[in-house]
């Protein structure tokens, strides 16, 4: 096999450690030789191992399913574990997701934000009964509906939609597409007994669905290609219908 | 020194840990969960394919029940499993899947009428019953006699994890994210909680609890090639090991999944083969039927992985610049199926390899996947040697997988163990004799000890580099403690791992930040990982037989006479370089299913002297009770129901097995 | 929602005031007023551009809206009323939309930064909408006020004099640009916001809508510029007869002396237009 000449990558990373009073945000550039099939996961780990052990970033599954590793790649939110370096130029920038609390460098506290969102929107099935007779055959569900539910249940709470949302950037209490998608998901779930009235309580204001200005940054950056545009439209229509009924 | 008191401390926020927490909280016990990462990022999310539960809704699952699931699981384990625990598991799994259905998991459902499936490379039309319409669907998985694996497209673990995590939120259970337990607080016989480091601020906090549950998942990252998430470093197991009191069971039982994508080793679900995918070699030849004419691609994972490696060793692997591999061919399943039911497979192939699996074959090669071993517990989940310490899920060895786990049984185990162990944790906390009774001196001592270790790493004179030690360990484990093992290689691996462990006592870190400091984290975790790696390698060296996933080229036969026993590793002396190994005999005389041939893989094994006697007994009971209902027969063979928590007892209803109203 | 809460907290807490329905209504009204204004603008452009078909065409259109063909007399007050209604809609729409604007410099800067970072079409379009909307509030108000206060002075000459001799063409040029961009973007956003034409493949539909949006904007801009150019041209050529009303050709033929009776304004004596340049 003949040796392939690899590119030299120049990766500029936004460095800042809010815990350190001396630290100021600045860009730091690392030079790295590209490898075959290199992802940003591999590249950043290599930087940490060989160039800078203090560099902070988060990976868990490194397979595009856990949502830990969203960052701004050249300014756009993306899951970096599955971002191949060959699809980027020789020079590119990495920065932490905005909106979320910064832990350090590329690491942000999406977990805290998402837990707050879940508590606020009560993102669980509100069932009729607390105790189910587990010995009995389960309630049937239309197979198409189950598929439809999974289609929107695929959200991994990576935070890309929130970081890509102009409204969320301007107004910190906005629920974001992640939250609205969940409302849509539980609204079509027949196991959830909540009425439109109840959902209105959760998202019926300008921090909720009416704050959305349909910039669709969320839809266009969602790494799971969730149909966020139509989900939000669905919630909006239902909530407006509620208000006029 | 900050101390947090609670009734129940759960370390690890995957499916098992969170389900334990829910059970305990519902019984009225204050519960706190610790997690390295936000709970929804846990590795449970990666379980794509599904969860085994013998619901028998689909036509290909008709006739399935607990007995068949039991038999499959025990055979899969190569008789290494605790059969009582397997019974508890198979009876609770249908309840667990139904509970999750009620909680909101969007399980794929049966559609009545005809549908086309691929079986053994052929298109076959099967007809689903009207009465099954809308009930949970099952798919085919390796090592099972019936289609039993309930699934959510190919995001089963994801959907389950989100539903359970949201349930934790609904129950108001606090999850202390980005915290890491560094040591259990104990007095040699009773566990009182843990010393916990905040990964953002670096602060050490003592969490004091009546019951402490470790549910930290597997140890895949001690290997270089693994499907496991980067947080699956086995450090939770090390917490138990480092007490010197609790033991790790069967650590040498490590599963290698047949079809991680090559070279990134990201898991491609067994569902790909369950749904009809084929394995092909360099010539495009479908080679599995040559080795396993009965189960073919769907033999158990240990067998398929070995056959792939064997075939590659024969020179039949396809070559790439990263090395050799074989192909997974799912093109025959069609675009709609691939993009809907195997969407993750599609995405992984597309994003990581630029392969379109609708048209092209996917390169795969076996890689480390699952840790059958773990913290040894009783069927209640409690350590037999350290009171108040519980474990559940992959981190535990209660021991339902023995030496090989079936696909679909791990994600099932997480929630089933969560339900069962959660009840026992609650029972434990209910008893007044288990009230908190710990001296502040003990707490202070443990916190000070951990603080000193960290200070030493940050400011000591250590010179060794943790990353280098770790990567050498990972190479050794993959190269010498892998699918095919030999005494000589294992010996050299153990020797070098011991060296690495000694070096790891002299680590230094360059970045001195006391707060968030990835290098520091790597350092102290590497010390723990080396102990776990040694437990695996040393256990593998000592076990001179082949059983399930543990395959010794120099001892290729299963040897029930010598080795029908469970390895127990303890680390009694902190300065030792090897764990102490002891063995726990499995009692053939009590087995419902005495050892025999698995139905796939090697037919050649050495019987235990009691096997034939027990087999005769079993046969006799079965003949005598011919015509009796299967529950009575089972009870006569091996009564187990008394082991289950009361609320989880009872039969499971099926279309063909109705319960009285 | 939670029955146990009712038991614990008592009915006072559970029956707390429900969340106001107004945010929903306002959101709906913002969209509805925008839609009406956008549709009005299309129609308006259609009427004004009748000048491209000749002076007579515009004359007929203008008289129609004064009710001439219904009542036999001109009632310019109808135009005033219409303009007042539109002005009210504009003010209402602006009041609703301004809620979404950045409310302080920090938000403004954040959004600008976000836009630069994302390089995302729909995000940038929104900012264009904010800018054009802001401009429109002034431009449209001025225009509407002029029409409201001079309702009878719509016609081939009258309008041209306004555009050229009264130096309002820069206002109309800016107004045209602002309106066409704002309305086009607004309609596109409305359809994705409410998923009107989503169909079975909303992503494809959205792509189609965006192409359509640009096509419509270009179309109306072209017509609008041509119309404005025509008024300017008439304004320049008719400069010598500044102040004179236009008389449609058939009336010029019917009446001697090139003037004749224009359509009479109700309640006013019919005026006879003097021939231009008679002195």
Residue recorded with tokens 């009964």: A129
Chain B neighbors of A49, CB-CB under 8 A: 467
Contacts of B645 (CB under 8 A, 6+ apart): B420, B423, B424, B427
pLDDT digits (tens, 9 = 90+) for C61-73: 999 999 999 998 9
Burial of B139 per CB tally in 10 Å (0-12, 13-18, 19+): buried
CB contact under 8 A, B169 and A124: yes
Q: B94, B102, B474, B520: which to substitute to probe chain A, counting the most A Cβ within 10 Å?
A: B102
Q: Is the pLDDT of residue C258 over 70?
A: no
Query: Which pLDDT value is given to residue C10?
Result: 47
pLDDT class of C1 with cuts at 50, 70, 90: very low
- The confidence band for B164, taking pLDDT boundaries of 50, 70 and 90, is very high
Residue with tokens 């040697």: B385
Examine residue C119 and state whether it is found in any structural domain, yes or no.
yes
Residue B573 phi, psi (nearest 5): -115, 120
Could you tell me if residue C277 is inside a domain? no
The overall average pLDDT reported for chain B is 96
Residue C237 structural domain: 31-248
pLDDT at C2: 47
Q: Do B46 and A63 touch (CB under 8 A)?
A: yes
**Catalytic sites of B, residue numbers:** 257, 273
Cα separation of B459 and B480, whole Å?
A: 35
Residue C23 has its nearest CB partner, among A197, A206, A230, at A206
Measure B293 CA to nearest chain A CA, in Å.
Answer: 33
Of C23, C28, C202, the CB nearest to A229: C202
pLDDT, position C262: 55
Q: Smallest Cβ distance to A64: which of B135, B351, B653?
A: B351
Residue at C255 is within a domain: no
A191–B102 C-beta distance less than 8 A: yes
Tokens 């040897």 identify what position? B559
Interval C26-49: pLDDT, tens = 999 999 999 999 999 999 999 999
Task: Say yes or no: C119 contacts chain A, CB-CB below 8 A.
Answer: yes
pLDDT bucket at C274, cuts 50 / 70 / 90: very low
- Give which of A243, A244, A245 to mutate to test C binding, by max C Cβ within 10 Å: A243
Interface contact flag, A17 B340, Cβ < 8 Å: no
Strand locations in chain C, DSSP E? none
In chain B, % of residues over pLDDT 90 = 93
Place of tokens 């990972």: B474
* pLDDT of C263 strictly over 80: no
Using the beta-carbon criterion (under 8 Å), do A63 and B266 form an inter-chain contact? yes
Cβ neighbors of C35 (< 8 A, separation 6 or more) are: C187, C190
Nearest chain C residue (CA) to A195: C1
Cα–Cα nearest to B380, from B624, B213, B535, B227: B213
Q: Does C167 touch chain A (CB under 8 A)?
A: no
Residues 212-271 of C with CB under 8 A from A: none
pLDDT (tens digit per residue) in B303-339:
999 999 999 999 999 998 888 999 999 999 999 999 9
Q: What is the pLDDT of residues A205-245, one digit of tens each?
A: 999 999 999 999 999 999 999 999 999 999 999 999 998 88
Give the per-residue pLDDT at C255. 57
CATH code, domain carrying C64: 1.20.1300.10
> pLDDT at residue B52 above 90?
yes
Give the pLDDT score at C11: 47
Any domain includes C257: no
Task: Give the pair of three-digit tokens for residue B623.
Answer: 């003949």
Nearest CA of chain C to the CA of A2: how many Å? 40
Closest CA to B76 of B602, B548, B641: B548
Contact B46 A65 (CB under 8 A): yes
Decide if B108 and A143 are in contact by the 8 Å CB cutoff: yes
pTM for this predicted structure: 0.94
Average of per-residue pLDDT across B85-100:
98
Residue C278 lies in a domain: no
The residues, ordered by sequence, that sit 6+ positions from A209 with a Cβ below 8 Å of its Cβ are A175, A180, A183, A203, A232, A235, A236, A239
CB atoms within 10 A of CB B312: 19
Give the count of alpha carbons within 13 A of A75, CB side only. 10
Strands (E), B68-190: 113-119, 122-128, 138-139, 149-150, 175-177, 179-186
Q: Pick from B166, B178, B513: which is nearest to A124 by CB?
A: B166
CA A149 to chain B, closest CA, distance in angstroms equals 6
pLDDT at B271: 87
Contact pairs from chain A to chain C, CB under 8 Å: 110
DSSP string, B286-308: B-HHHH-TTTGGGS-HHHHHHHH
**Angstrom distance (rounded) from CA B22 to CA B164:** 9
HEC string of chain A equals: CCCCCCCEEEEEEEECCCCCCCCCCEEEEEEEECCCCCEHHHHHHHHHHHHCCCCCCCCCCCCCCCCCCEEEECCEEEECCCCEHHHCCCEEEEECCCCCCEEECCEECHHHHHHHHHHHHCCCCCCCCCCCCCCCCCCCCCHHHHHHHHHHHCCCCCCHHHHCCHHHHHCCCCCHHHHHHHHHHHHCCCCCCCCHHHHHHHHCCCCCHHHCCCCCHHHHHCCCCCCHHHHHHHHHHHHHHHHHC
User: Which residues of chain C lie closer than 8 angstroms to A213, CB-CB?
Assistant: 100, 126, 189
Residues A132, B99 contacting (CB under 8 angstroms): yes
Q: Is the pLDDT of residue B564 over 70?
A: yes
Nearest Cα neighbor of B10 from B198, B200, B210 is B210
Task: Answer for the pair B480, B508: CB distance below 8 angstroms, yes or no.
Answer: no
Q: How many C-beta atoms lie closer than 10 Å to residue A197's C-beta?
A: 13
Would the CB atoms of A244 and C25 count as touching at under 8 Å? yes
At residue B340 the predicted structure's pLDDT band, cuts being 50, 70 and 90, is: confident
A131: pLDDT strictly greater than 90: no
Q: How far apart are CA B48 and CA B369, in angstroms?
A: 13
Tell me, yes or no, whether C130 lies in a domain: yes
Q: Has residue C16 been placed in a domain?
A: no
Region B354-381: mean pLDDT is 96
Calculate mean pLDDT across residues C120-147: 95
3-state secondary structure A143-164: HHHHHHHHHHHCCCCCCHHHHC
The shortest C-alpha distance from C119 to chain A (Å) reads: 8
Residue C7 has pLDDT above 70, yes or no: no
**b/e burial code for range C195-227 (CB count within 10 A of at least 16 → b):** beebeeebeebbeebbeebeebbeebbebbeeb
Average pLDDT estimate for B649-656: 96
What's phi and psi for B385, nearest 5 deg? -120, -10
Question: Chains with 3 or more CB pairs closer than 8 angstroms to A?
Answer: B, C
Question: A65 and B229 in contact (C-beta within 8 Å)?
Answer: no
Grouping H, G, I as helix, E, B as strand and the rest as coil, residue B5 is strand
User: What is the mean pLDDT of the segment spanning B433-457?
Assistant: 96
Task: Report CB contact under 8 Å: A111, B38.
Answer: yes
Per-residue pLDDT at B300 = 87
Tell me: pLDDT of B643 over 80.
yes
Query: Per-residue pLDDT for C277 more than 70?
Result: no
* Nearest residue in chain C measured CA to CA from A162: C114
Domain count, chain C: 1
Q: How far is residue B179's CA from residue B236's CA, in Å, rounded to a whole number?
A: 13
Q: Suggest the residue from C123, C202, C213 to mutate for an interface test with chain A (most A CBs closer than 10 A).
A: C123
Averaged confidence pLDDT in chain A:
94
CA torsion, points C8, C13, C14, C19, in degrees to nearest 10?
-150
Share of chain C above pLDDT 70, in %: 84
Q: What confidence score (pLDDT) does residue C269 get?
A: 53
With 0-12 / 13-18 / 19 or more C-beta atoms within 10 angstroms meaning exposed / middle / buried, residue B467 is middle
Beta strands per DSSP E along B544-610:
558-559, 565-570, 580-585, 605-606
Chain C interface test: which of A78, A125, A152, A169 (most C C-beta within 10 Å): A169
Calculate mean pLDDT across residues B581-608.
94
* pLDDT interval class at B603 (50, 70, 90): confident
pLDDT in tens, B143-156: 899 999 999 988 99
**Neighbours, chain C (3 or more CB pairs < 8 A):** A
More confident site: A245 or B214: B214
In chain B, which residue's Cα lies nearest the Cα of A81? B352
Among the partner residues A75, A197, A240, nearest to C117 by beta-carbon distance: A75
Q: Are B508 and B437 in contact (CB under 8 A)?
A: no
pLDDT single digits (tens) B465-478: 999 999 999 999 99
Q: Which chains contact B through at least 3 pairs of Cβ atoms less than 8 Å apart?
A: A
Give the residue from chain A lying closest to C4, CA to CA: A130
pLDDT in tens, B346-358: 999 999 998 999 9
Q: What is the pLDDT of residues B391-418, one digit of tens each?
A: 999 999 999 999 999 999 999 999 999 9
**Whole-complex ipTM:** 0.97
Which residue from B111, B175, B659 is facing A136, i.e. has the nearest CB?
Answer: B659
Is C91 a member of any domain? Answer: yes
Q: Distance, in angstroms, between B390 CA and closest chain A CA? A: 25
Span B568-590, average pLDDT:
97
**Pairing mode, strands B318-320 and B323-329:** antiparallel
Residues of A in contact with C114 (CB under 8 A): 98, 166, 169
Distances (CA, A) of B110 to A230, B128, C10: 27, 7, 44
> Using CA atoms, how far apart are residues B107 and C32, in angstroms rounded to an integer?
40
Secondary structure string (H, E, C) spanning B434-471: HCCCCCHHHHHHHHHHHHHHHHHHHHCCCCECHHHHHH
């Amino acid at each position: 096999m003949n040796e392939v000449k690899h590119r030299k990558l120049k990766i500029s990373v936004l460095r800042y450690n809010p815990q350190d009073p001396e630290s100021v945000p600045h860009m730091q550039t690392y030079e790295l030789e590209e490898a075959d099939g290199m992802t940003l996961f591999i590249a950043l780990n290599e930087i940490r191992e060989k160039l800078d052990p203090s560099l902070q970033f988060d990976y868990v599954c490194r397979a595009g399913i856990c949502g830990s590793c969203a960052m701004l790649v050249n300014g756009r939110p993306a899951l970096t574990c599955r971002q191949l370096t060959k699809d980027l130029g020789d020079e590119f920038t990495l920065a932490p997701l905005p909106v979320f609390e910064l832990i350090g460098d590329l690491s942000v506290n999406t977990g805290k934000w998402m837990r707050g969102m879940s508590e606020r929107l009560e993102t669980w099935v509100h069932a009729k009964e607390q105790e189910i007779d587990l010995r009995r055959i389960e309630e049937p569900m239309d197979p198409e509906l189950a598929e439809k539910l999974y289609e929107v249940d695929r959200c991994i709470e990576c935070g890309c939609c929130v970081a890509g949302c102009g409204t969320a950037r301007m107004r910190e209490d906005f629920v974001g597409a992640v939250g609205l998608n969940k409302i849509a998901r539980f609204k079509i779930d027949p196991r959830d007994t909540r009425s439109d009235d109840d959902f209105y309580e959760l998202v019926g204001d300008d921090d909720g669905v009416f704050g959305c200005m349909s910039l669709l940054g969320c839809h266009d950056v969602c790494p799971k290609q969730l149909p966020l545009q139509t989900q939000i439209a669905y919630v909006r229509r239902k909530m407006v219908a509620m208000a006029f009924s | 020194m900050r101390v947090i008191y609670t009734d129940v401390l759960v370390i690890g926020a995957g499916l098992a840990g969170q389900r334990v927490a829910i059970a305990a909280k519902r019984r009225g016990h204050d519960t706190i969960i610790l997690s390295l990462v936000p709970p929804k990022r846990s590795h449970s999310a990666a379980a794509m394919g599904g969860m085994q539960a013998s619901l028998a809704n689909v036509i290909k699952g008709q006739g399935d029940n607990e007995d068949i699931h039991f038999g499959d699981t025990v055979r899969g384990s190569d008789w290494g499993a605790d059969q009582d625990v397997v019974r508890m598991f198979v009876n609770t799994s249908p309840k667990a899947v139904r509970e999750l259905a009620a909680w909101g998991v969007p399980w794929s459902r049966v559609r009545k009428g005809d549908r086309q499936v691929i079986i053994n490379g052929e298109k076959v039309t099967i007809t689903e019953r009207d009465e099954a319409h809308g009930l949970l669907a099952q798919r085919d998985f390796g090592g099972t006699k019936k289609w039993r694996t309930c699934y959510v497209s190919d995001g089963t673990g994801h959907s389950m994890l989100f539903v359970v995590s949201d349930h934790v939120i609904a129950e108001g259970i606090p999850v202390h994210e980005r915290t890491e337990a560094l040591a259990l607080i104990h007095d040699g016989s009773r566990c009182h909680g843990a010393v916990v480091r905040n990964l953002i601020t670096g602060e050490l906090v003592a969490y004091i609890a009546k019951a402490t549950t470790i549910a930290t998942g597997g140890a895949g990252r001690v290997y270089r090639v693994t499907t496991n998430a980067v947080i699956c470093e086995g450090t939770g197991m090390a917490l138990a090991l480092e007490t010197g009191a609790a033991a790790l069971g069967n650590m040498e039982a490590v599963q290698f999944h047949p079809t991680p994508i090559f070279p990134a080793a990201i898991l491609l679900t067994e569902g790909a083969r369950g749904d009809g995918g084929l394995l092909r070699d360099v010539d495009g030849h479908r080679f599995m039927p040559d080795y396993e004419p009965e189960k073919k691609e769907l033999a158990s994972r240990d067998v398929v992985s070995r056959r792939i490696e064997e075939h590659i060793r024969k020179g039949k692997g396809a070559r790439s610049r990263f090395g050799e591999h074989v192909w997974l061919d799912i093109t025959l399943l069609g675009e709609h199926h691939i993009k809907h039911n195997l969407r993750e497979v599609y995405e992984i192939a597309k994003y990581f390899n630029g392969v379109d699996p609708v048209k092209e074959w996917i390169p795969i090669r076996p890689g480390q996947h699952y840790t059958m071993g773990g913290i040894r517990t009783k069927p209640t989940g409690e350590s037999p040697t350290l009171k108040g310490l519980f474990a559940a899920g992959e981190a535990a060895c209660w021991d339902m997988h023995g030496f090989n786990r079936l696909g679909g049984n791990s994600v099932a185990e997480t929630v089933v163990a969560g339900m069962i162990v959660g009840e026992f944790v609650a029972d434990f906390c209910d008893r007044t004799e288990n009230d908190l009774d710990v001296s502040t001196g003990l707490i202070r001592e443990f916190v000070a000890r951990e603080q000193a270790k960290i200070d030493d790493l940050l400011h000591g004179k250590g010179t060794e580099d943790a990353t280098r030690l770790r990567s050498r360990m990972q190479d050794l484990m993959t190269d010498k403690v892998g699918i095919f093992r030999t005494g000589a290689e294992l010996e050299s691996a153990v020797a070098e791992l011991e060296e690495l462990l000694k070096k790891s006592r002299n680590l230094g870190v360059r970045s001195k930040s006391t707060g968030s400091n990835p290098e520091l984290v790597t350092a102290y975790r590497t010390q723990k990982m080396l102990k776990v790696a040694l437990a695996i390698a040393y256990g593998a060296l000592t076990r001179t037989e082949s059983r399930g996933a543990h395959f010794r080229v120099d001892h290729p036969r299963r040897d029930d006479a010598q080795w029908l026993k469970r390895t127990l590793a303890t680390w009694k002396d902190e300065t030792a370089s090897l764990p102490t190994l002891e063995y726990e005999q499995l009692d053939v005389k009590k087995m419902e299913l005495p050892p025999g041939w698995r139905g796939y893989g090697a037919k050649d094994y050495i019987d235990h002297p009691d096997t034939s006697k027990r087999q005769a007994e079993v046969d006799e009971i079965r003949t005598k009770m011919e015509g009796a209902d299967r529950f009575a027969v089972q009870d006569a063979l091996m009564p187990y129901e008394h082991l289950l928590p009361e609320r989880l007892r009872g039969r499971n209803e099926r279309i063909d097995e109705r319960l009285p109203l | 929602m939670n029955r146990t809460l009712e038991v614990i907290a008592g009915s006072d807490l559970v029956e707390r005031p429900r969340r106001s329905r107004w945010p929903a209504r306002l959101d709906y009204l913002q969209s509805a007023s925008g839609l009406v204004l956008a549709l009005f603008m299309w129609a308006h452009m259609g009427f004004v551009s009748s000048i491209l078909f000749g002076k007579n065409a515009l004359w007929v259109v203008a008289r129609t809206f004064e009710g001439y063909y219904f009542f036999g007399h001109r009632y310019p007050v109808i135009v005033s009323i219409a303009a007042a209604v539109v002005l009210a809609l504009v003010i209402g729409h602006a009041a609703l939309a301004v809620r979404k604007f950045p409310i302080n410099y920090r938000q403004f800067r954040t959004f600008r930064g976000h836009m630069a970072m994302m390089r995302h079409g729909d995000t940038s379009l929104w900012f264009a909408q904010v800018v054009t909307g802001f401009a429109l509030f002034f431009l449209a108000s001025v225009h509407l006020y002029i029409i409201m206060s001079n309702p009878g002075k719509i016609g081939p000459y009258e309008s041209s004099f306004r555009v050229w001799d009264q130096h309002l063409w820069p206002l109309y040029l800016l107004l045209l640009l602002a309106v066409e961009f704002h309305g086009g973007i607004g309609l596109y956003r409305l359809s994705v916001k409410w998923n009107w034409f989503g169909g079975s493949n909303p992503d494809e539909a959205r792509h189609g809508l965006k192409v359509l949006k640009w096509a419509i904007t270009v179309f109306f801009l072209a017509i609008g510029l041509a119309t404005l150019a025509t008024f300017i041209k008439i304004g320049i050529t008719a400069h010598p007869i500044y102040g004179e009303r236009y008389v449609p050709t058939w009336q010029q033929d019917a009446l001697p002396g090139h003037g004749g009776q224009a359509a009479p304004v109700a309640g006013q004596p019919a005026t006879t237009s003097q021939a231009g340049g008679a002195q």
